[in-house]
A and B are shown apart, each in its own frame.
Chain A
Amino acid sequence: KQEVTQIPAALSVPEGENLVLNCSFTDSAIYNLQWFRQDPGKGLTSLLLIQSSQREQTSGRLNASLDKSSGRSTLYIAASQPGDSATYLCAVRYGGATNKLIFGTGTLLAVQP
C-alpha cells in the first residue's frame, strides 16, 4: 500500500530558527514529490516539486531534498518567520496511468515572534 507519513505532526519554534520537516513514503517508485503549504481555511500553495531524478530543489529560504532509496524527503526552512506559520503537506505522485497525488497528514508549524 502506498502511504505517505509526515513527522512531526506539529512543531513550534521561535522566530529565526532553521527547521526541518520530514516526509517518508513506503514505495520508492515515485514519479515526483511535492511540498505544499496550507493556511487555515485556505487552499494549497505549491512550494517545491522534485522529480524522481533530482536530489533537491531550492526556492528562497526553502530547500527540499529527496532520497528515493530510503523513501524520504525533507523540507528545510531557513531563518523562519511568523509568516511561515501554516500546515505543510508532502504529496507523492507515483507512475502509471493515474496522476493522483497521495498526501501526508501534514506538519502544523507555528513560528513564535
Chain B
Amino acid sequence: GENVEQHPSTLSVQEGDSAVIKCTYSDSASNYFPWYKQELGKRPQLIIDIRSNVGEKKDQRIAVTLNKTAKHFSLHITETQPEDSAVYFCAAGSSGTYKYIFGTGTRLKVLA
C-alpha cells in the first residue's frame, strides 16, 4: 500500500541555523505534498504545500523541494527560531483517490 517515510524523527538545531526534514513516498500517483506543524496539545496546521508540477516553493523562511523522479520531498527552515519548535508532518495526496497519507513526524527543537 501507499507509504510515506519521514526522517529524522528528532532534530535539534541551534537558533539561527537551518533545519531540513526529508520525506519519501511510494505512490507514483501522488501529486500534492503538504507540510503540517503541530504544537503540543494542538491540531496540525498547514505551513506550506507543493504540487507535482512545481519543483520548489518558498514562503519567507520556509521552503519545500520536490523530486518526482526520486519520489522525495523536503522541508527547509532557515534562520530557525525557538517558536519553530514543534512536530512537523509531511503528507502525500492524490487527486485520483483523495487519500492523504502522513509521515511519522519530526520533532524539531530549536535551542536558544
Q: Do A and B come from one complex?
A: no
Interface residues in chain A, defined as those with a beta carbon under 8 Å from any beta carbon in chain B = none
Interface residues in chain B, defined as those with a beta carbon under 8 Å from any beta carbon in chain A = none
